[in-house]
Amino acid sequence: MTDIYYVEDDETIARTVKEYLECRGYRVSVFPRVDAAKRALNAARPALVLADWNMPDGNGEAFCRWIRASWEELPVIFLTVRGDSRDIVSGFSNGADDYVVKPFELEVLLSRIRAVLRRTGDVSKSCLSCGAVSLDREKCLVFCGSHEVNVTPLEYRLLLSLLQNRGKTVTREKLLREIWDDNGNYVNDNTLTVTVKRLREKLPQSACIKTVRSFGYRMEEKSD
């Protein structure tokens, strides 16, 4: 299912749009404030962000700049009243993909969403994340926030496996089999311990990798 994050402080509009899109196969998460949307984006990426241009705690241009600083390819569509449509043009210089002027027909909004997703694809499928740590499967890159982290191929495959099973404990045996044995390499159990240690040293958000004693590892967000 395609995930959409919708930033909208008007409950009536948000509910109407959410119900309409979910009846057409999308999963919509509504955020009444920009700061709530930012926290959600730091935890996981949707396929598209739909946002009102004017919010109680921020405006579209600043929000778009914030998104582009970390996720260049994440598509953004703004909803704006007619008087703001001139201002929103500046948002395109910061990476916005489209905008729809209020009041709008739901069919028009759906058409714009489909058009943007056809151009960009579902970026959420290629990007896995936990907290500030993210992995781009298409480019084989790892990031902490907006900063790229240099990892070895083994460290990359280890992180990929943990992120694919985010929130679940992955056994040491499974990791050894997936990362080493499938490539015909024989290693002892300590190799995994060393690789995890080195990966943690490279990630400032290393607390995301939790050790489950005598069993394996689990990728989860920090609680603090």
Cis preceding linkage at 103, omega within 30: yes
User: Which CATH number is correct for 2-124, 3.40.50.720, 2.40.110.10, 3.40.50.2300, 2.40.50.140?
Assistant: 3.40.50.2300
Q: CB of 207 within 8 A of CB of 222? A: yes
Contacts of 69 (CB under 8 A, 6+ apart): 146
Question: What's this model's pTM, rounded to 2 decimal places?
Answer: 0.65
Q: Give the pLDDT confidence score for residue 187 in this predicted structure.
A: 65
Answer yes or no: is pLDDT of 143 > 80: yes
DSSP string spanning 144-207?
ETTEEE---HHHHHHHHHHHHTTTSEEEHHHHHHHHTGGGT----HHHHHHHHHHHHHH-TTGG
Q: Give, rounded to a whole angstrom, the gap between the first and last alpha carbons of the chain.
A: 30
Q: Rounded mean pLDDT of the chain? A: 85
Q: CA–CA separation, 70 vs 51, rounded Å?
A: 17
Indicate if the pLDDT at residue 179 is higher than 80: yes
Confidence of residue 96 (pLDDT cuts 50, 70, 90): confident
Report, as an integer, the average pLDDT of 83-105.
Answer: 70
Q: What is the pLDDT of residue 137?
A: 82
The residue extents of the domains of the chain are: 2-124, 127-219
Helix or strand holding residue 112 (H, E):
helix 106-120
Q: What CATH architecture does domain 127-219 belong to?
A: Orthogonal Bundle (1.10)
Predicted pLDDT of residue 134: 83
Supply the pLDDT for residue 224. Answer: 47
Residue 42 has pLDDT above 80, yes or no: no
